[in-house]
Amino acid sequence: MTPPSAGPPRGGPTDLTGRPGRTRPAGEAEPTDETHATGRTDPTGQAGPTDLTAVAGAALSWLSAHRADFRLGPHALEPDADPNASWKRVGELAQLCACVRRSTAPGSPLHGTATALVRHAWHEAGDGALFLDVQRLEPNATYPLEVYAAFADAGLRHPPYEELIGLLVRTRGWRTPELLPNRLLGVLNSEHRAGLAPRRRMDEPLRRTWLGALPEPWLFEKSAAYTLTHVVFHLTDWGHHPDTVPDDIAAYLHTWLPPWLDTCVEAQHWDLCGELLAVAASLPSPPAPDVTEDAWSALAAAQDGDGALPEVGRGPRGEDVPRVFVNCYHSTLVTAFAATLTVARRTGHPHGGDRHTLREAPA
């Protein structure tokens, strides 16, 4: 993938006003209340802000059509299996669709599609039984808990697994892991979401992350940027608790997110662009809509008609990126997450009250 520029960000936003807007597909519902303040055309005929509900709806439609590609496969429990080829995809589907459920109104099409996708991921995990199997095989591994936490947070739980992980988190080996600080934040948040008592506060590992040091902004590059976004996601529980971002970090991000977004748009790095837009929506006071509109407009224009969004717009030699599942699934998930979180924050109506009712919700 082509990384964003590693040099100093450009001073002003890229002019994207001439880029085409997204046309609502035939049969797509008219905008709901969630669309107000996110997309409309004024009486003069000029295009208004990007319709984020339509962007999220198209992304979720593509994800739903490709749900069969989110599978663990027959080798997920083998000793030498790579979790990035199995558990990672299923975990990302569960995590980001659980976030979409949290940011959308029960009964809405977005909420219903996200619910069905979380259920699909849960069934792939054997309705939770496979977490018990893989944790027994790898008692020191943290990724089973990190994936399980997304389900637990949505109300899907497996008591035998929770009994085992409850024992493991009290061991000396679990409490002294050799993890990078951003990874430790993820584990601490997962412990909390699964109903376990986190072993320590987040303050100390936070200040040992790249973002926590408030680094020189021109050192922004792809690896640091993805670390930054996930630090914010773990710190805020994926945007659900924006007030947990310290004042100095919030002020730093308010200053530098706009030029960093400009860098990502210029590089056509849509996956990272989406993650930074989700970070913007996770701040205690999100940026005004006009601050992120150019990035949203560019991302919406890059979205295919079927809702897919490639991670990057061009390959390392400027070639087109094949629109295959592996090149699109993560950025399309991120788009749905960022768009629905942004709408919820802008309208002041996050629908988090339904986050723990998935077990009782109709399939």
Lookup: tokens for 213: 């040091």
Q: Per-residue pLDDT for 326 more than 80?
A: yes
Would you say 41 and 285 are in contact if contact means Cβ atoms under 8 Å apart? Answer: no
Q: Per-residue pLDDT for 6 more than 70?
A: no
Q: Per-residue pLDDT for 38 more than 70?
A: no
Instruction: Identify the band that residue 351 occupies on the pLDDT scale cut at 50, 70 and 90.
Output: low
* pTM score of the predicted model: 0.85
Quote the pLDDT of residue 86.
Answer: 82
Residues 111-124: tens digit of each pLDDT: 999 999 999 999 99
Mean pLDDT on 131-139: 94
**Residue that wins the pLDDT comparison between 147 and 317:** 147
Q: What percent of the chain has pLDDT over 90?
A: 71
Q: Per-residue pLDDT for 82 more than 50?
A: yes
183 phi/psi in degrees, rounded to 5 = -70, -35
Q: Per-residue pLDDT for 358 more than 80?
A: no
Quote the pLDDT of residue 350.
Answer: 59
Instruction: Give the largest Cα separation in the chain, rounded.
Output: 66
Mean pLDDT on 285-308: 96
Mean pLDDT on 268-280: 97
Task: Report if residue 13 sits inside a domain.
Answer: no
Would you say 213 and 168 are in contact if contact means Cβ atoms under 8 Å apart? Answer: no
Task: Report if residue 98 sits inside a domain.
Answer: yes
Q: Which helix (H) or strand (E) holds 301?
A: helix 289-302
Would you say 355 and 153 are in contact if contact means Cβ atoms under 8 Å apart? Answer: yes
**Count: domains in the chain:** 1
**Residue that wins the pLDDT comparison between 33 and 241:** 241
Quote the pLDDT of residue 103.
Answer: 96
Mean pLDDT on 105-134: 96
Q: Per-residue pLDDT for 17 more than 80?
A: no
Q: Which of 56, 163, 159 is nearest to 110 (CA)?
A: 56
Mean pLDDT on 313-342: 90
Report the SS3 class of residue 269.
Answer: strand
Q: d(Cα 86, Cα 75) in Å, to the nearest integer?
A: 8
Task: Report if residue 206 sits inside a domain.
Answer: yes
Task: Report if residue 19 sits inside a domain.
Answer: no
Task: Report if residue 72 sits inside a domain.
Answer: yes
Task: Report if residue 214 sits inside a domain.
Answer: yes
Residues 156-198: tens digit of each pLDDT: 999 999 999 999 999 999 888 889 999 999 999 999 999 998 7
Mean pLDDT on 303-327: 87
Full domain range(s) for residue 163: 49-351
Instruction: Identify the band that residue 359 occupies on the pLDDT scale cut at 50, 70 and 90.
Output: low
Task: Report if residue 24 sits inside a domain.
Answer: no
Q: Per-residue pLDDT for 221 more than 90?
A: yes
Quote the pLDDT of residue 96.
Answer: 97
164: Cβ–Cβ under 8 A, 6 or more apart, which residues? 132, 135, 136
CATH of the domain at 53: 1.50.10
31-45, 84-98, 216-230, range with the lowest pLDDT: 31-45
- Average pLDDT over all residues of the chain: 85
41 phi/psi in degrees, rounded to 5 = -110, 135
Mean pLDDT on 220-236: 96
Q: DSSP readout, 33-59? A: GGGTTT--B-TTS-B-S--HHHHHHHH
Mean pLDDT on 305-315: 91
Q: Per-residue pLDDT for 29 more than 60?
A: no
Report the SS3 class of residue 69.
Answer: helix
**Residue that wins the pLDDT comparison between 45 and 169:** 169
Task: Report if residue 69 sits inside a domain.
Answer: yes
Quote the pLDDT of residue 19.
Answer: 31
150-164, 228-242, 248-262, 303-317, range with the lowest pLDDT: 303-317
Mean pLDDT on 203-212: 95
Report the SS3 class of residue 196.
Answer: coil
